[in-house]
Structure 1
Amino acid sequence: MIKSALQIAREKYIPKVPAALKGSVKIVEGEKTQSVADQAEIEKMFPHTYGLPVLSFETSDEKKDYPAIKVGVILSGGQAPGGHNVISGLFDGIKRLNSNSQLYGFLGGPSGLTDNVYKELTSDIIDCYRNTGGFDIIGSGRTKLEEEWQFEKALENCKKLGIKALVIIGGDDSNTNAAVLAEYFMAKGAGIQVVGVPKTIDGDLKTEMIETSFGFDTACKVYSELIGNIQRDANSAKKYYHFIKLMGRSASHIALECALQTQPNVTIISEEVAAKNMTLDDVVNQIVDVVVKRAEKGENFGTVLIPEGLVEFIPAMKTLIGELNDLLAKFESEVNNLESNKERREFVAGKLSKESAEVFTQLPNSFANQLLLDRDPHGNVQVSMIETEKLLIDMVKAKVKALKKEGKFKGKFKAQAHFFGYEGRCAAPSNFDADYTYSLGNAAAILIAEGKTGYMASVRNLTAPADEWLAGGVPITSMMNLERRHGVMKPVIQKALVNLDGAPFKKFAENRDDWALNTQYIYPGPIQYFGPSEVCDLPTKTLALER
């Protein structure tokens, strides 16, 4: 395998870990927990794993002997920088506790578990992937574990291999899978533990105990570098507005973090749009207002950041998409059998409520067609395929043109559309993410060794030096609520949206008017791996402000 100079150098990097993960560990139990909402219903669904206490790890002088164990690991959902280091940390962790322990990777995500497709991960394999981006060590997938036959196949395949514990590395839905599987194995008395690890670049999997999901730090730094590059170009050419859609399926954490890092002219925060009950037209007018005021200063260029999930937060659009999700689940075959997009639009419009039908029929046909695309495995609209940035450009262009006719706009408006998503998902992890994920893998190993199940690995106090980080575990059921999926209420981990009363949003809100009218761009540049800690090890601005 030919490797770049950076790959070779990064192989030698030794991740920093909390003090409690360097030697013998004592587990301290906190108070018993309950779910964030729908407590009675969640407890009824998870009688064996509900109400578990939060766990903290502390250093101990007591030397423990742990039996050898076979552990399975699954990468689930979209990629996020640092996944390979979770597996490296898990491997090193179980080997440190007993050198005869073994790690098996199920290939291609959860389907690898049900199809019994796997490979043993040995040191020669692990060593090739340390501190690298991507999920290619075993691959990932989006299969949802929710049917009893899947649970039975998982149980059967684990027993064949002698696997006594599973680690599922994923986002909110994947960790929900982990909780359901843990409960099923407990109910069956299977003797197989399940531990989750918090992954998603979106940043929406977090609580007091899970301060951030891994990959968020690296992805935001990659996107911010690109935004900075574009802003430097915009400030040089002085002739384009760059509309940049940023990945982040629901929450606007990425858009907010990138705004704090780069200081663009406009950043739409979906949660604010919902809170203010804004229409699509309101969003467009907000952008147009900045374009007009900057033109008055002779500045006919700028940057506009748009969160990927924006359309689902505009109240009328959210209602429409909710109805579409239910309709397309109910009439999937009928819609798929129709030959043209026009027929599909007409069929769906006839099934919608009066209010939603009115919104749907007024949308540009191309945009309405995008709302009818196949749903993801969880029944949600695939917002990454909806070209919101192009829709906003067209609507702003039309408004500016009308203002020009009225003599209220004397500038110029030309726009470029961008979507930054996949560029950040498999980047080489930042030092922060490399350290954090390796620590999470080690924490998962200790949870397994101590016989815990239904937990998510947790590492906190992340704005302090790594030696002062606090490791432990949080019950997955404590993060759950009920949500509608495919027309049915199901238990899922509650998404953490941008808190409009939180320090990161307040910092943004205090400065956005200045950033809008005055060109105050910051150019973060590429991720730095070698050099002073204040350059290489910084957490995100979101995390620093929150803590």
Structure 2
Amino acid sequence: MKYSPLQQARYAYTPKLPGMLRNGIAEIGVKEGQETQSVADQDKIKALFPNTYGKNEITFEKGQNTSESKKQVVGVILSGGQAPGGHNVICGLYDALKATNKENVLYGFKNGPSGLIEDDVLVFDDEYINEFRNTGGFDIIGSGRTKLESNEQFAIAAEVCKKHGITAIVIIGGDDSNTNAAILAEYFAAHNTGVQVIGCPKTIDGDLKNEEIECSFGFDTAAKTYSELIGNIERDANSAKKYWHFIKVMGRSASHVALECALETQPNICLISEEVAAKKMSLSQLADYIADSVEKRSAKGMNFGVAIIPEGVVEFVPEFSTLIGEINELLAGSKADDFNALNTWAEKYTFIEQGLSKESMTVFAILPQGIQQQLFLERDPHGNVQVSLIESEKLFSALVADKLAERKKNGTYNGKFNALHHFFGYEGRCAFPSNFDSDYCYSLGYNAFMLIQYGYTGYLSKISNLSKPASEWVAGGLPITKMMNMERRHGEDKPVIRKALVELDGKPFKFFEANREEWAVETSYVYPGAIQYYGPAEVCDITTRTLALEQE
């Protein structure tokens, strides 16, 4: 196999660990904190997790290792979408496991949680794992989106663990995956299987966070990758001076990626879904907001600009959310077959017109035909609109074009508006992890094994104080149930980890809010450039603007 020079160099990179994890396994002690409770619905969560609820938060510190000395056989699973640094979580877990006892074994379950159910495994050794150190992707064992949520699945998982002598499972995933980890931990504890379950916080969307979990891994690298591309586009826009670039970035439920990219690059426009929802902004208001920037910049002779659009923003527009709900009802059951049997878009449009309320039809009618048709593409497994397939960057540029055409008729605008469109998503999910993510992920994996060694289950591997140098990071564990509440899912109340949305009173948004009026009119672009791996720490190890502002 041929390797690039950077890939070869990254293999040799030694990730930095928190100070207390550098002391050697024999000198890592544990300090227990206060008992915990869930963020909401305490009685309901406690009743569902009688064996794992209310446990203490813990912190590792320098001291005598008092854990039981025994052979550990650990299984690891990558769950959900890819995020830079996942390989290093496994490498850190493997190195801690082997440093404790050379006889310890690490199994990798292939292609996500289904590998556990199907007993599809490989055994890691030095040669295999060294091929993946400090690299992007999840190809070390593959990932998947199978949910572990039924007693039948749990019973099979217990049998697979028993077959291999597995003492612990580490699940690397986002909020849904770690919810499943908590449920699996409860099942294993209730049935005295002797198998522990530890989670690791992963998602480039950045919405798996709280007061204790400062950042999910992969967010740093993905946001920096997108910011480099946005900076490049800004430089091109400022050079050509004739295009408005509408850039959609990943973030279905939360706008953390969009906000971080805006803080990094200072575009003219960045929509924040959470603000749209809080202010109940309409599509027309959002289009006017962007058109105002276009008009003001045009008056200064600048017929160019950059607008960042979060992937899921349309779901936060109340009128659009209502429209989607009505479309879901319109195509429920056999009615979808009736719709699909129609041959022309004109026939389908009449069907839609007859099925929507007057208010929703008004919204539907202002959409470009391409967006209208995207709302009726293949449904998700639950029969709902796949909002991620909607090209919202094209939707907003079309709505802005209509607004500007109206202003031209009224004589208030006489500029030029030429739009280009981009979607940055997959480009950031498997990038070479930044030094921050390489270090953070390795620490999460190493720390996960310490939680196993000390006998904890139903915990999330936790590394904090992340805005400081790695030597000052703090390692520990957080009971997953502390992050949970009850939510309505598919007609049932279910325990889930609460998603962390952008806080409109938080420091990152407030900084953005204080500057965006100037950015909308002036050309205040910042060009972050490519992620740097070698050089001064203030360039190579710097964290996100979001985390830096939050920890000020």
Q: TM-score range by the shorter chain?
A: over 0.9
Equivalent residues in 2 for 1:305-316 (5 A)? 305-316=308-319
Answer whether contact 2:368 2:398 (CA < 8 A) is retained. no
| Structure 1 residue 498 corresponds to structure 2 residue 499 | no
Other structure's SS at 1:473 match: strand
Answer whether contact 2:67 2:453 (CA < 8 A) is retained. no
Instruction: Determine the structure 2 residue equivalent to 1:254.
Output: 257
Instruction: Determine the structure 1 residue equivalent to 2:59.
Output: 56
Answer whether contact 1:33 1:51 (CA < 8 A) is retained. yes
Shift of 1:450: 1.0
Equivalent residues in 2 for 1:2-21 (5 A)? 2-21=2-21
Distance across 2 between alignment mates of 1:485 and 1:241: 39
Residue from 283, 286, 290 that aligns with 1:283: 286
| Structure 1 residue 178 corresponds to structure 2 residue 184 | no
Equivalent residue letter for 2:186: E
Instruction: Determine the structure 2 residue equivalent to 1:267.
Output: 270
Shift of 1:157: 1.3
Instruction: Determine the structure 2 residue equivalent to 1:434.
Output: 438
Q: 1:350 to 1:187 in 2, by over 3 A?
A: farther
Shift of 1:161: 1.3
Residue from 99, 107, 110 that aligns with 1:107: 110
Q: 1:90 to 1:334 in 2, by over 3 A?
A: farther
Alpha-carbon displacement from aligned partner over 1:468-499 (angstroms, at most 9, x marks no partner):
10011111111111222223222111110101
For normalisation by structure 1, the TM-score amounts to 0.95
List alignment gaps of at least 5 residues for structure 2.
none
Instruction: Determine the structure 1 residue equivalent to 2:162.
Output: 159
Distance across 2 between alignment mates of 1:333 and 1:273: 34
Shift of 1:461: 0.1
Q: Report % sequence identity.
A: 61
Aligned residues: 545
List alignment gaps of at least 5 residues for structure 1.
none
| Structure 1 residue 488 corresponds to structure 2 residue 489 | no
Equivalent residues in 2 for 1:508-523 (5 A)? 508-523=512-527
Other structure's SS at 1:140 match: coil
Instruction: Determine the structure 1 residue equivalent to 2:81.
Output: 78
Distance across 2 between alignment mates of 1:415 and 1:60: 61
Equivalent residues in 2 for 1:305-384 (5 A)? 305-321=308-324, 331=332, 335=336, 338-340=339-341, 359=363, 363-374=367-378, 382-384=386-388
Shift of 1:344: 7.7
Equivalent residue letter for 2:37: Q
Shift of 1:368: 4.0
Distance across 1 between alignment mates of 2:36 and 2:3: 47
Distance across 2 between alignment mates of 1:489 and 1:365: 37
Residue from 438, 455, 460 that aligns with 1:456: 460
Instruction: Determine the structure 1 residue equivalent to 2:99.
Output: 96
Answer whether contact 1:217 1:539 (CA < 8 A) is retained. yes
Q: 1:391 to 1:528 in 2, by over 3 A?
A: same
Distance across 2 between alignment mates of 1:28 and 1:179: 22
Answer whether contact 2:367 2:395 (CA < 8 A) is retained. no
Residue from 125, 130, 134 that aligns with 1:131: 134
Q: 1:362 to 1:262 in 2, by over 3 A?
A: closer
Other structure's SS at 1:72 match: strand
Q: 1:332 to 1:188 in 2, by over 3 A?
A: farther
Answer whether contact 1:82 1:437 (CA < 8 A) is retained. yes
| Structure 1 residue 415 corresponds to structure 2 residue 416 | no
| Structure 1 residue 402 corresponds to structure 2 residue 403 | no
Shift of 1:187: 1.5
Shift of 1:105: 0.7
Which segment is superposed worse, 147-156 or 288-297?
Answer: 147-156
For normalisation by structure 2, the TM-score amounts to 0.94
Shift of 1:333: 6.3
Instruction: Determine the structure 1 residue equivalent to 2:33.
Output: 30
Q: 1:174 to 1:303 in 2, by over 3 A?
A: same
Shift of 1:121: 1.3
Alpha-carbon displacement from aligned partner over 1:208-234 (angstroms, at most 9, x marks no partner):
110000000000110000001000000
Answer whether contact 1:349 1:360 (CA < 8 A) is retained. no
Other structure's SS at 2:285 match: helix
Answer whether contact 2:168 2:196 (CA < 8 A) is retained. yes
Superposition CA RMSD, Å: 2.2
Equivalent residue letter for 1:339: N
Answer whether contact 1:349 1:361 (CA < 8 A) is retained. no
Shift of 1:319: 3.9
